[in-house]
Structure 1
């Protein structure tokens, strides 16, 4: 009976294959969470913050500045303001000119450029040394991310706080009302575990089911991963394209069924890794930074073929993204990179191994604007193109390196974490390991100078040309405002005339340049052409009503009249001489002196340069009997220079 019963029972039912896959995914998810907790425990230990690169934040990545005033640290140094403070997390970005550091007590420090409030201190004042963000002292900050002009932090309760530039909604607050948030505001994302910032967008990793990865900000190249760039014409009939910002964080639908555990952001592209070790990239595809063998923008996450087959990333893999390239570590300690890895040579259109680093156990990796840094074993390695000494080779070492090279001053030290920005690099080292090396590191104290608070200038119309023109005009305005000579008052009176210059000025530019050269050779005793106003145009002898517009030559001193009669009036430079048929008769010449001048000549409001025959000695003007009645302008000469003087005169 027992045998029959056992035979009749048959084999046990096979479990559903779908349920088995779910169980396996849940087990892997639990394993990854445990590994992350172990990593967090190691990070809580903290270490000393080191810095190298440019410490003159107002000059970083700007070509129109005086390089003699730039302070560079060519090898890693300790910062006085964070001395003996245990730092657990550091952040910067491939487009960032500011830094973020978090200590073991959850306090957040920021420093660097602050033109859009990205430091979170409630103002726009630059901080040259790490400064505590007092608005976050009641929160326990765990991690942070830094974009071009914004900063996002996450707290121990899974909340996200952001501050800085919010023009494109990159703070994730759900509102565009305030373009600059100088103090931290809450982002609309919950249960956040990690945060990453691109130039003008942000990505959060969340534990919410179906929303493991969330994005907000500028969608111009599809870097948000929502299948669109939100492009539209600025107005009907216009060819100008604009991109609708996305201030409200939104889950990436194509990755809703994936458990994203790691991510990184470049300037305009994103990289993510799921719990199974598959790599996804999307956003701007220039220079092959997405690794899909083509320079095509991807508006939704697309799996990288190489890491879909046999080179699946292990759980302890590290992923990073620079301005125009990406990188990750694979099994066996192999580092892969793709994109514009070097400033010269061909782009790497798909992931290629970096053979110089084969076999190294890389624990931390980050990519900046043009440099990369990796922490492996008891060494720190850097390579790329440096401008401010951000590779840390020292003042006597090479400025740049195309291949990975050891940082000698950190050799033998345990580097826990690295972070790269624009022109600078951050390190966190363990003080307890290699203490003799640690004591040899120099200490740097940043200057206390902070520029005055100024609102950022609005972008000039016309792109780069408009910005250059605006800077040129600003220099001219500054030069004009400086006191230079006693004739400043006279020049200030003449300045408004420039706004009324006619369009003929552009047509006669060459003529004016020739005249200015000849003006320098005018003799001290001017020949002047008397009081004739023919050809001067409006504002250079304008007549009034009746006798008000006339100045008779008999009231001018005899010496000036005699000199004026010695030379007959000419047509002026740049004009063809009159023929005999066109020459005016004696009656016409006489009437021309008494009648008001015609509105002709060099153009409306066009001031003509002073010439030798137009100059009237100033002493003659002062010796005459004049009354305030006639409006015009007179030229006089002083120390071999010609000047113009506005006057209101009338004969007595």
Structure 2
């Protein structure tokens, strides 16, 4: 049986899964604050929300990186010569893919890779480590989709800075490209080298051209999932392999050792091999899969506190559930099982979806009450966010009772609004105080100049010679004084713009205004001679 025939057989009976559903979103909405410790609760959606532009649109699957939200989120736009970043709080059509039917997608730290129904793969985003698989290693951004050098692609998964493709081509069922720092590409090396002969600084040679993993040359890989720097794969016989960074036991080998080539996970053998419909997931520091009888196993760092799981252990709270889909983020997990959506873990932005009256985090799996009775078709966890696709069938008008997200920063409740207003007012008061203090210092300098000018006035009525001497003295002093540049300092971020302060010459008052962030080119601080 060829690899193509085997994959066709493996995909039989999955037509129903391709039917779309309604997209729901919960988590942070202010992308500039996600990942920081200080946040405002009003900026978070703590229960699942529908998304205005996608109301009634059939969504087949969702994907999100563990570090950055791709859609909806920040998109890169522009031409091949110039580009710019444009924040987007709502889903945006990728027009470069409008002519293709996309059947798979994955997102990494700053890149996205998709699979079309004709087996071609396209990628866009950062390509510093060759993670787009285009054969280029230039430190540049691809603002439009470009073709990856993979033939007959069937699935794709992304780590932080690397990509893994599954292919129906004989002898090349799995290919990798990108950063090899921890051996996550599976080729037996991390491509480490010294930047200079006399230097101890290390670098890692990127792999820009997708390369088949030799260890799987005679095996058919049917499932794959990627964490930040590790990979989990399943072959057609149901055996599980892991490789890459081994910290916190995320590889499941009872040791924290990096693996540069695929290594068999011993727990999933004999009577415990994975069935064809098994679910496989990988978070930033964890891994998971469903084995015999549909039992969910997890390993790695699952909580912010406590010991890590060095080898796969069953999650007994979910025994007996028919798990349909699963995704793991940085430290939270979401499962679609039976007619329920279940989540747990550490959450800072409401990504568990428990609502304003529910707990913020949960150490144990817990149902999302508002979605109870709904069939979940696809889930994706990112940093501070969760995406859930639910079936519209047999739920009546329950979707109409959910809130609708229109874009921008969430308004929240009256209490959270007040907290946000107070926080903003406090920032402005602090900035105003520092501005006043600086103005007082500048005013004292201006008053000294005013004393000199009053002396000149007296000389004008009498001693003109003294006046000329003072003027010459000031001119000579001016020659030895450095010219003060125009400085732009960011005070705070406000919506899609930046509130900045212009600090001019001492005799010019400070100006404060708001302008679009799109008009700026990083870094956002400029120095211009007056």
Mapped to 2, the partners of 1:401 and 1:307 lie a distance apart of: 28
Give the drift of 1:480. Answer: 8.8
Q: How is 1:309-328 mapped onto 2 (pairs within 5 angstroms)?
A: 309-328=270-289
- Contact (CA 8 Å) 2:77, 2:83: kept in 1 or not? no
Give the drift of 1:436. Answer: 3.4
- Contact (CA 8 Å) 1:281, 1:302: kept in 2 or not? yes
Give the drift of 1:98. Answer: 1.5
Q: Label 1:36 to 1:486 Cα distance change in 2 as closer, same or farther (>3 A).
A: same
User: 2:87 aligned with 1:92, yes or no?
Assistant: no
Give the drift of 1:44. Answer: 2.6
User: 2:9 aligned with 1:48, yes or no?
Assistant: no
Mapped to 2, the partners of 1:447 and 1:402 lie a distance apart of: 31
Q: How is 1:207-222 mapped onto 2 (pairs within 5 angstroms)?
A: 207-222=168-183
Q: Label 1:247 to 1:482 Cα distance change in 2 as closer, same or farther (>3 A).
A: farther
Q: How is 1:334-349 mapped onto 2 (pairs within 5 angstroms)?
A: 334-349=295-310
Mapped to 1, the partners of 2:270 and 2:77 lie a distance apart of: 44
1:247 maps to which of 208, 213, 220: 208
Q: How is 1:440-519 mapped onto 2 (pairs within 5 angstroms)?
A: 440-447=401-408, 484=439, 487=442
Query: Which protein shows a greater Rg?
Result: 1
Mapped to 2, the partners of 1:92 and 1:137 lie a distance apart of: 20
Partner of 2:90: 129
Q: How many residues align?
A: 447
TM-score, structure 1 normalization:
0.64
- Contact (CA 8 Å) 1:32, 1:315: kept in 2 or not? no
User: 2:186 aligned with 1:225, yes or no?
Assistant: yes
Partner of 1:166: 127
- Contact (CA 8 Å) 1:59, 1:70: kept in 2 or not? no
Give the drift of 1:113. Answer: 2.5
1:356 maps to which of 302, 317, 331: 317
RMSD of Structure 2 on Structure 1 (CA): 3.2
Give the drift of 1:46. Answer: 0.7
* Runs ≥4 residues deviating over 6 A: 479-483
Structure 2 segments unaligned to the other structure (5+ residues): 411-429, 460-465, 481-505, 507-530
Give the secondary structure class of the aligned counterpart of 1:254. helix
1:456-503 alpha-carbon deviations (Å, 9 max, x no partner): xxxxxxxxxxxxxxxxxxx99xx8999946937969xxxxxxxxxxxx
Partner of 1:596: none
Mapped to 2, the partners of 1:219 and 1:137 lie a distance apart of: 32
Partner of 1:34: 9
Give the drift of 1:114. Answer: 3.5
Mapped to 2, the partners of 1:70 and 1:175 lie a distance apart of: 43
Mapped to 1, the partners of 2:242 and 2:331 lie a distance apart of: 20
Partner of 1:397: 358
Partner of 2:383: 422
1:266 maps to which of 227, 250, 258: 227
Mapped to 2, the partners of 1:197 and 1:81 lie a distance apart of: 27
Give the secondary structure class of the aligned counterpart of 1:332. helix
1:217-269 alpha-carbon deviations (Å, 9 max, x no partner): 01111111111111111112111111111111101111111100000000000
User: 2:31 aligned with 1:57, yes or no?
Assistant: yes
Partner of 1:82: 54
Mapped to 1, the partners of 2:345 and 2:215 lie a distance apart of: 34
Q: How is 1:587-598 mapped onto 2 (pairs within 5 angstroms)?
A: none
Q: Which has the higher strand share?
A: 2
Mapped to 2, the partners of 1:67 and 1:114 lie a distance apart of: 23
Give the drift of 1:272. Answer: 0.1
Structure 1 segments unaligned to the other structure (5+ residues): 1-25, 100-109, 450-474, 492-523, 527-614, 635-644, 646-652
Give the drift of 1:28. Answer: 10
Mapped to 2, the partners of 1:616 and 1:373 lie a distance apart of: 69
Give the drift of 1:311. Answer: 1.2
- Contact (CA 8 Å) 2:131, 2:162: kept in 1 or not? yes
Partner of 1:560: none
Q: Label 1:207 to 1:311 Cα distance change in 2 as closer, same or farther (>3 A).
A: same
TM-score, structure 2 normalization:
0.78
Q: Label 1:194 to 1:237 Cα distance change in 2 as closer, same or farther (>3 A).
A: same
Q: Label 1:227 to 1:490 Cα distance change in 2 as closer, same or farther (>3 A).
A: farther
2:162 maps to which of 189, 192, 201: 201
1:401-447 alpha-carbon deviations (Å, 9 max, x no partner): 00100110000011111111111111111111212322322211113
1:337-368 alpha-carbon deviations (Å, 9 max, x no partner): 00001111111000011110111110101101
Give the secondary structure class of the aligned counterpart of 1:59. coil
